[in-house]
Amino acid sequence: MSAFKKILIANRGEIAVRVMRTARAMGYRTVAVYSRADADAEHVRLADEAVCIGEPLPAQSYLNIDAIVAAARASGADAVHPGYGFLAENAAFAQACRDAGLVFIGPSPEAIVAMGDKAGAKRLMQAAGVPCIPGYQGDDQSTATLAAEAERIGWPVMIKATAGGGGRGMRLVASAGAFADQLQSAQSEALHAFGDATVILERAIVAPRHIEIQVFADRHGHAIHLGERDCSVQRRHQKVIEEAPSPAVDAALRARMGATAVAAAKAIAYEGAGTLEFLLDAQDQYWFMEMNTRLQVEHPVTEAVTGLDLVELQLRVAAGEPLPLTQDDVRITGHAIEVRLCAEDPQQGFLPQSGTLTAWRPSSTLRTEHALRDGAEVPPFYDSMIAKLIASGRTRDEARQRLLAGLRDTVALGLPTNQPLLQRALAHPVFAGGGATTAFIGDHLDALLAADAAADTRAALLAALLLQTGARGWPSPLAHTLPNALRFALDGTVHTARVTPRGAAHFEVVLDDAAPATLALLALPDDGPVRFACNGVAAQAWVVRRGERTDLHFDGRAHRLDDLTHVAVPRADAGGGDGLLRASMNGRVVALLAAEGDTVSAGQPLVTLEAMKMEHVHCAPRAGRVAALHVAVGTQVAARHIVAEIAEA
């Protein structure tokens, strides 16, 4: 008889849906939990049962241990899967499940304490002879002690929150002068994300590879590894692209690193899925960073190259079964690459985005992990990742090309995402050649964000065609050839166009006084697929109209189109320099860095907002006096909300 029958997934979004898929295939019933912000979320719709556990902020819902345990009791669930993030590596949560008689689908509380805390894990690994990065993991968390330890370690230094991951509470500090401010920022972010401001310090290894080893262990003393994943492509210590196997790891190095990881798991009687993370230099020397005592975001690439379902293995191990395979049974076949699609705007400093997804059409050629649909809301309270796209192939380049093509075809409209940056990264010669390190995005950011003038022009021509047909109807009931003057904004850039009909569904378009182009509409421009031709070349796009706003996916990119034809043209001397500081995204105020009446300089930090678990400092738009603060710590604000006013001093 199974050790459990109904599984509560203590998480949200794509990982909750992922766990449900395997749980149902194995015959288990599933229970979703949700905050009030997620009442209509996809993971709630797909579960057999669902229980509301509180308000939108994570501390009031997905981090509320008592509420989750109560939800399990109310629903009759007898097991809990934590997913990743939130409480997945929280020993108190694992202990609370144990105390409530619930099977925790993960390691024991003792193992989480031993390896889930970065400082404790590092001390344990040092005692076991595992190579570790020089650093400080002491109890004294005073600024003076930490600054002194940073000097001892040597610059640059990495500050890391002990309680969590995902880049939260991590800062790279280049010199002593910046240390105090960066420390305060890291501690504040860690406290809000994990409820614990404790940090460790490590010497920063410049431009290494980030290699992690997937381990699995059962309660019968068996432990194996499933090879490595290369997670080197990162931004702000958050992974962007992951792949298996690593282009930098050969069979001998894989065996060495795998043996280290398995030994670590056995040393603490580990049970379930876990990951040992290492930094690898060009001389094949590696250093232990941390152990993640949970399933990883990037587990699908390991599934693709091993043919295993890691969630199924988790459930079998948690039910008391022995691992169904030995180390000799593990085979790494082919290659797999994953990208993380995030609701953020790379062109605006990667600001997180929230709002309504007006259209969602994942490519049928990829494995896409998501919890999305047309009209889905992306709340501002949680992580910015909204989907994972995975491709596999016989070779690395085959997997890369498939992922690049599928990513271009994926339609995600309604709010900005990092989709164009992901395409640029996959196509970049350094990544294509297998040479990307953790410095990849930083070293090549300008190229990854560079404008594509030709693509922008094609999109603007399509925009003019859509506005013309939207305004005139198609086919036009009037057989006239009078030109139509249009004015519109495409992704914030204002264009003018003169569109002249040249026969049934054919138009001459003069964009921004450039040479005329010939466009033809080949299919009705309703919401959904639109077919057209530009200068004789046929193409298609996906279009969603919302009043004066149109969202369109074309040429692998999402665009926002706003019709300004009937909007008054602003005077050249209007706007700007008004001294109003506006919120750059939906978020919560976590710090006020100035008071009303203070004299401030242009660019001086004034307000810190937290959005999608990251902190963003907002600075004075000009020099002057703080005339008004319209927010307080804890205030939830919408994008463009005025948070402060700066008057002349």
DSSP string across 566-590: TSPPPPTT-SS---EEE-SSSEEEE
Closest to 617 (Cα-Cα) out of 647, 591, 644: 591
Distance CA 471, CA 618 (A): 40
Residue 270 and residue 107 in contact, taking contact as beta carbons nearer than 8 Å: yes
Distance CA 310, CA 318 (A): 12
**Phi and psi dihedrals of 217, rounded to 5?**
-140, 150
Element (H, E) at 75: helix 65-75
Distance CA 123, CA 132 (A): 9
Active site (catalytic) residues? 294
Distance CA 160, CA 167 (A): 8
What the block records as the tokens of 603 is 């660019």
> Could you tell me if residue 555 is left (phi over 0), alpha (psi between -120 and 50 degrees) or otherwise beta?
left
What the block records as the tokens of 135 is 């650093």
Distance CA 231, CA 156 (A): 21
Chain-centre distance for alpha carbon 202: 25
Closest to 225 (Cα-Cα) out of 288, 284, 310, 282: 310
DSSP string across 452-488: -HHHHHHHHHHHHHHHHHHHH-SS-SS-----EEEEE
Distance CA 338, CA 398 (A): 13
